[in-house]
């Protein structure tokens, strides 16, 4: 399961708890994962260019104390790794490479924050701050910040989510003109240059992880559609409004084919039969992409949608996610499923996760 710390979604339950209270909540989440018979916890350790460990590169995370940069009085990542391993769980260190803040005011960042020292490193888009992926010094910084965690702790994996260049918003323009003028020579288009920036980040990070701690895996959890077949014959049988290659400048298929990553966990947050992005069509596409590469495939599951009245009818059914697992068993390269997120794992809406686990037990007996 994913454990999101951004805006205190899953952990800590609110900012400003004591160190003992925070530690207790973290232990409870790991125990929850064990009870739900999970094998790994994907803990968000770098939610907004801040850290859940004593990082020399970026300030303490705001989600811990409510004040970015304030020492929480304990080491959440160190505790998470030790306690997860004691319980037989893998601990995947989830980082967001480029997010800086959910607002556009650098003065609200902690004193000494990299963007306070280097305002030229940041871009503003849709009212939010992000690091500029087009600057080599930014690429070095974010890699150094993440590799510090790998160097300090025996995490089982470094995990990235789907945020590279920002999701497009109508009427908004990402102003990276200056960086493109400085570094865009030789590229056929700005889009090609942006994709190369992200390719460099992935390839260099992969090499850095193997150099620092070779046993650590590198996994990425992209938006579930690389490209639609109507855009590219190599794409999936979908008609998604967002395509990672074109809109986020993330060539996820290439990263697999080049074997820059060890696992991919596409966010297949749609139901079976959903028009335009059918889960049943995306699973075989991803299964085929990893075929013969050695890159492991796990499927991201939208447990958070179950029972939500704003979602389509399929998500009001207890067995929708159980059907996902049943379908995926027919594809040899699918190695498992990851559920978003811990809060819903605890609540088990409509008993959907219980249904998955009961089917898993039954399948084990049948084998």
Q: What is the pLDDT of residue 363?
A: 77
Query: What does the block give as tokens for 133?
Result: 């992926």
Tally of CB atoms within 10 A around 241: 11
Note the Cα 81 to chain centre separation in Å. 18
Share of the chain above pLDDT 70, in %: 99
- Cβ pair 96, 161 in contact under 8 A: yes
pTM exceeds 0.85: yes
Closest listed residue to residue 132, CA positions, set 68, 198, 188: 198
Q: What is the pLDDT of residue 364?
A: 73
Q: Is the pLDDT of residue 355 over 90?
A: yes
Over the stretch 18-36, which tens digit does the pLDDT of each residue have? 999 999 999 999 999 999 9
Pairing outcome for strands 334-339 and 128-131: unpaired
Q: What is the pLDDT of residue 174?
A: 97
Phi-psi region of 16 (alpha: psi -120 to 50; beta: other; left: phi over 0): left
Q: What is the pLDDT of residue 362?
A: 81
- What is the CB-side half-sphere exposure of residue 203 using CA atoms within 13 A? 11
Q: Is the dihedral of CA 44, 164, 234, 294 positive or negative?
A: negative
Domains of the chain in start order, with CATH, are 2-261 (3.20.20)
Pairing outcome for strands 296-301 and 263-264: parallel
What is the C-alpha separation between 147 and 27, in angstroms, rounded?
25
Over the stretch 130-146, which tens digit does the pLDDT of each residue have? 999 999 999 999 999 99
- Cβ pair 209, 262 in contact under 8 A: no
Tally of CB atoms within 10 A around 46: 29
Closest listed residue to residue 297, CA positions, set 341, 235, 252, 236: 252
Over the stretch 34-72, which tens digit does the pLDDT of each residue have? 999 999 999 999 999 999 999 999 999 999 999 999 999
Phi-psi region of 7 (alpha: psi -120 to 50; beta: other; left: phi over 0): left
Q: What is the pLDDT of residue 195?
A: 98
Pairing outcome for strands 122-125 and 128-131: antiparallel
What is the C-alpha separation between 223 and 228, in angstroms, rounded?
13
For range 348-364, the mean pLDDT: 92
For range 125-132, the mean pLDDT: 98
Q: Is the pLDDT of residue 366 over 80?
A: no
Q: What is the pLDDT of residue 365?
A: 60
For range 121-130, the mean pLDDT: 98
Q: What is the pLDDT of residue 367?
A: 45
């Amino acid at each position: 399961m994913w454990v999101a710390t951004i805006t205190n979604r899953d952990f800590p339950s609110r900012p400003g708890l004591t160190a003992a209270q925070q530690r207790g909540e973290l232990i409870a989440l790991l125990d929850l994962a064990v009870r739900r018979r999970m094998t790994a916890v994907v803990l968000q350790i770098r939610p907004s260019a801040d850290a859940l460990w004593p990082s020399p590169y970026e300030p303490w995370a705001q989600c811990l104390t409510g004040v970015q940069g304030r020492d929480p009085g304990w080491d959440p990542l160190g505790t998470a790794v030790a306690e997860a391993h004691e319980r037989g769980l893998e601990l995947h260190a989830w980082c967001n490479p480029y997010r800086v803040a959910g607002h556009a005011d650098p003065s609200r960042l902690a004193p000494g924050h990299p963007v306070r020292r280097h305002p030229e490193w940041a871009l503003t888009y849709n009212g939010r701050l992000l690091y500029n992926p087009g600057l080599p010094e930014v690429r070095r910084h974010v890699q150094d910040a993440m590799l510090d965690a790998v160097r300090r702790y025996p995490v089982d994996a470094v995990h990235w989510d789907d945020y590279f260049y920002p999701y497009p918003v109508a009427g908004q323009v990402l102003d990276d003109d200056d960086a493109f003028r400085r570094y865009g020579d030789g590229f056929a288009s700005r889009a090609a240059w942006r994709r190369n920036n992200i390719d460099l980040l992935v390839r260099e990070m992969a090499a850095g992880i193997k150099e620092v701690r070779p046993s650590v895996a590198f996994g990425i959890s992209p938006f579930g559609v690389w490209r639609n077949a109507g855009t590219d014959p190599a794409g999936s049988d979908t008609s998604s409004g967002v395509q990672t290659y074109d809109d986020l400048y993330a060539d996820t298929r290439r990263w697999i084919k080049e074997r820059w990553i060890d696992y991919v966990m596409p966010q297949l947050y749609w139901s079976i039969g959903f028009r335009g992005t059918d889960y049943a069509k995306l699973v075989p596409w991803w299964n085929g992409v990893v075929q013969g590469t050695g890159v492991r495939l796990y499927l991201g599951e939208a447990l958070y949608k179950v029972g939500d009245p704003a979602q389509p009818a399929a998500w009001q059914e207890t067995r929708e996610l159980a059907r996902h697992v049943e379908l995926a068993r027919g594809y040899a390269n699918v190695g498992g499923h990851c559920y978003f997120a811990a809060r819903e794992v605890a609540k088990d809406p409509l008993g959907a996760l219980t249904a998955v686990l009961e089917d898993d037990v039954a399948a084990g007996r049948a084998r």
